[in-house]
């Protein structure tokens, strides 16, 4: 297991950036820890201060549903995202046993192609010869489409503090496709991340 090698910038200080879809990939977890984390510091690395607060508040709110006393880093370090030493000192001084960090990764583009298809559709016409309406069926070709989607990925790291240092116990990459807003993405991502942490036993189950 890794110790608090976080190098905030390498600490991974994670930021998480409506119909965006969100999913977790490249997930890794350590063996179960002795005591679930119930006091945590949440850090979102965002150049935009508003987005930083939106993300941290979303995670804090979701963790609270599991009985976790989580603190948003902006309430302690309002001027800027804290560096590694500041985080370590705060964790020790307040006897926290967990740190959740989030970091934005470069935006990607994904192209999706939908092949063309043919449907059979009714057509009704009037015949002047018979004085009646007649229905026949015709094949209608629909062209294929190509759509370019914007993928906004983030990395989430969770560290367990045992009083002697820190251990990386969970990490994953989250991908949001065509996100409509920072608020929606933060809500969806925090729900997915916290749910997985509870499933792994790193935090208590929901209350």
Report pLDDT digits (tens) over 78-118: 988 998 899 999 999 999 999 999 998 887 776 767 787 78
Give the model's pLDDT for residue 190.
Answer: 92
- Check pLDDT > 60 for residue 18: no
Largest Cα–Cα distance of the chain, in whole Å?
A: 95
DSSP string, 38-74: -EEEEEEE-SSHHHHHHHHHHHHHHHHTTT-EEEEHH
What CATH number has the domain spanning 21-107+150-200? 3.30.160
Element (H, E) at 188: helix 182-200
What is the model's pTM? 0.73
User: Domain segments of the chain: what residues?
Assistant: 21-107+150-200
Q: In this predicted model, what pLDDT tens digit does every residue of 143-194 receive, in sequence order? A: 777 777 778 788 999 999 876 668 999 999 988 777 778 888 898 889 999 9
Query: Over the range 150-159, which residues count as b (16 or more CB within 10 Å of their CB) and which as e?
Result: ebbbbbbbbb
Give the model's pLDDT for residue 181.
Answer: 84
Give the model's pLDDT for residue 207.
Answer: 77
Beta bridge partners of 20: none
Q: Who's near 178: CB < 8 A, 6+ residues apart?
A: 19, 20, 21, 149, 150
Question: Taking the mean position of all CA atoms in its chain, how far away is CA 183?
Answer: 11
């Amino acid at each position: 297991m890794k110790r608090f090698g976080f190098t905030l910038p390498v600490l991974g200080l994670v930021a998480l950036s409506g119909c965006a879809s969100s999913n977790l990939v490249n997930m890794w977890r350590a063996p179960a820890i002795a005591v679930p984390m119930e006091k945590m510091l949440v850090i979102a690395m965002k150049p935009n201060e508003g987005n930083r607060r939106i993300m941290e508040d979303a995670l804090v709110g979701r963790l609270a549903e599991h009985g976790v006393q989580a603190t948003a880093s902006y309430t302690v370090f309002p001027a800027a995202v804290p560096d590694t030493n500041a985080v370590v000192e705060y964790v020790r001084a307040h006897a926290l046993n967990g740190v959740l960090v989030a970091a934005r990764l470069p935006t990607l583009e994904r192209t999706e192609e939908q092949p063309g298809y043919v449907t059979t559709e009714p057509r009704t016409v009037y015949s002047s010869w018979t004085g009646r309406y007649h229905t026949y069926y015709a094949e209608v070709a629909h062209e294929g489409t190509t759509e370019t989607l914007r993928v906004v990925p983030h990395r989430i790291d969770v560290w367990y503090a045992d009083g002697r240092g820190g251990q990386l116990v969970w990490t994953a990459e989250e991908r949001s496709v065509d996100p409509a807003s920072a608020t929606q993405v933060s809500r969806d991502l925090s729900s997915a991340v916290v749910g997985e942490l509870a499933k792994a036993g790193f935090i208590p189950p929901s209350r």
